[in-house]
Structure 1
Amino acid sequence: MSAPTAATPTTFRLERPRDGVVVLTLDRPEKYNAMTATMFAELEVTARQLDREDGLRVVVVTGAGKAFCAGYDLADAEKLAGLGALGMLDLQESAARALSGIRGIRVPVIAAVNGAAAGGGLALALAADIRLASPRAKFNAAFVKIGLSAGDLGTSWLLPRLIGPAAAAEFAYTAGMMDAAEAERTGLVNRVVPEEELLPAALEMAERISSNSPGGVQMSKRALHANMEVTSFAAALELENRGQALLTRTQDMTEALEAFKAGRAPIFQGR
């Protein structure tokens, strides 16, 4: 597979409803926003571009139409048998780079799950830092029904950390379907909001995040991600100590202290 290059995406659209906030909308509604090799390549490139954007504060990911993302496009899947083992590995790694890229964007990512999130769509929702859902949202881990594994695109790592190992095992082994209410109860989503309020709620949360110190938010995300992987409390403290020490050297920290003394809201510049 050729290396992805920068171009206007064809499988999703980017909008900027306010300063520092990007809404990435998967835009294949006639296919329930199902994933293709093209989408993987475009997501990988766009994630890298967004990660380098200085003024970026929050990314919101959602789907056009009735679904969030229905997983891999079955029409595209017909080509898989002819790829061979190494060709299939290349495609799988492309998909993994795409979702890892979205998860690794240095600012918070909010998934506004407006409908079905199945297979790779579930993995994309899990890759976000925060998940809001409409009552129509439903989550499906049907990998084993089609002869595949729930060890796909980070699902087997993220799902147990969100809902616990036993609940994750039941969900994966039974090819479960989880509605919005159950997803909220288990902690898979942060909360369920009325359908017409989903994107406004995500943007309101983005606004609240954006009002805080950009450096502080980014270092918080880095610490939260890294400390899901470290093996000791001491290692977690070491990482936290470095981050806090670095942030005390920023102009935003000085501005926050001055604003507190003056009884006004701080004006953060991300410096």
Structure 2
Amino acid sequence: MRQPSTITVETQGAIDILTLDRPAQLNAVSPDMISELTEYFSGLHDRPTTRVVILRGNGPAFSAGAELGSDAFAAPGNGRPQRQLKMQQNYSGVIRLMRSCPQPIIGLVHGAACGAGFSFLLACDVRFAAPDARMNAAYIRVGVGGCDMGSGYLLPRLVGLSVASEFLLTGRFLKAERAKTIGLISDVVPADDLLTRGMEFASEMLRTSPMGLRLTKQALNMLIDAPSLDAALMMEDRQQVILLETHDHREAVAAFRERRDPTYSDQ
């Protein structure tokens, strides 16, 4: 990966701490940031040694959303719809990569998380928030639709259609305590303790078998849209049969019987 300029990545064992790193711009999402996030999340698909990702923002905010004065908005003239669609797909493509990468993503939000920043949070698997966190689907407040970068798909599945409509149709802000009440975030944590909580949760995930963790995220992605209970059970059955044949399953059973921690090899 080329040296990034808008994000930083710190590796601690099997955990990557990915930080949006444009603090002077409140981590506004620029085309350069999208390019660097695309490169990072694309690389995760072939990097099983990274098992969990923690996503956070540097400075006073998680992310103020898309940088409105940037090249994300195509210049007028012939071919503008085509150019704008390509740029739009670059932005939304990050959400697709976040959901499809095999590593669970833990989002840590403080301050503002607007527009694209809000969608980044929705694409995480688990979220924790500081008391000052305030989130919104800002898109509708700048003259476009409230459903953008996956918000119209992800938010209703996380909190239900009625509550999602409340925020997508207005762009109103969702604060930390309400976000916890509706189940969007797992807990409200003092800002200084956010990373510690994220690392603790990531460490708990690392107590599972590597393949089991990857396939669980994959199954959750598929089962949310399963057409029936039968379809869901068939997928779960096949996943479990695969995992039962792994060395890590045998190691986990042995460790349980011997009252020790398992040592996984991803085999």
TM-score normalised by the chain length of structure 2: 0.96
* Partner amino acid, structure 2, of 1:98: V
Structure 1 runs of 4+ with >4 Å offset: none
Match of 2:70, SS state, is helix
Cα deviation for residue 79 of structure 1 reads 4.5
Q: Aligned to 1:89, which of 46, 67, 85?
A: 85
Match of 2:167 in 1: 171
Q: In 2, distance between residues paired with 1:241 and 1:76?
A: 48
Q: Aligned to 1:194, which of 183, 190, 194?
A: 190
Alignment partner of 1:23 is 2:39: no
Cα deviation for residue 263 of structure 1 reads 1.9
Match of 1:3 in 2: none
* Partner amino acid, structure 2, of 1:10: S
Alignment partner of 1:53 is 2:47: yes
Alignment partner of 1:156 is 2:152: yes
Match of 1:80, SS state, is coil
Q: In 2, distance between residues paired with 1:67 and 1:117?
A: 7
Q: Is the 8 A contact 1:71 1:121 kept in 2?
A: yes
Q: Aligned to 2:118, which of 111, 118, 122?
A: 122
Cα deviation for residue 81 of structure 1 reads 3.9
Q: In 2, distance between residues paired with 1:77 and 1:160?
A: 30
Cα deviation for residue 151 of structure 1 reads 1.8
TM-score normalised by the chain length of structure 1: 0.94
Q: In 2, distance between residues paired with 1:126 and 1:10?
A: 24
Alignment partner of 1:100 is 2:87: no
Match of 1:145 in 2: 141
Match of 2:130 in 1: 134
Cα deviation for residue 78 of structure 1 reads 7.8
Superposition map of 1:62-73 within 5 A: 62-73=56-67
Change (3 A) 1:78 1:237: closer
Match of 2:35 in 1: 41
Q: In 2, distance between residues paired with 1:36 and 1:143?
A: 15
Q: In 1, distance between residues paired with 2:114 and 2:200?
A: 26
Cα deviation for residue 77 of structure 1 reads 5.7
Q: Alpha carbon RMSD of aligned pairs, Å?
A: 1.3
Q: Is the 8 A contact 2:114 2:135 kept in 1?
A: yes
Change (3 A) 1:247 1:190: same
Q: Is the 8 A contact 1:44 1:102 kept in 2?
A: no
Count of residues in Structure 1 that have an aligned counterpart in Structure 2 = 265
Deviations 1:135-175 (A, max 9, x none): 11110122222111122111000101111101111111122
Q: Is the 8 A contact 1:43 1:102 kept in 2?
A: no
Q: In 2, distance between residues paired with 1:212 and 1:232?
A: 28
* Partner amino acid, structure 1, of 2:67: D
Q: In 2, distance between residues paired with 1:106 and 1:42?
A: 19
Q: In 1, distance between residues paired with 2:53 and 2:35?
A: 18
Q: In 1, distance between residues paired with 2:168 and 2:83?
A: 26
Alignment partner of 1:12 is 2:10: no
Consecutive unaligned residues of structure 2, counting only runs of 5 or more, are none
Change (3 A) 1:78 1:219: closer
Q: Is the 8 A contact 2:147 2:168 kept in 1?
A: no
Q: Is the 8 A contact 1:183 1:189 kept in 2?
A: yes
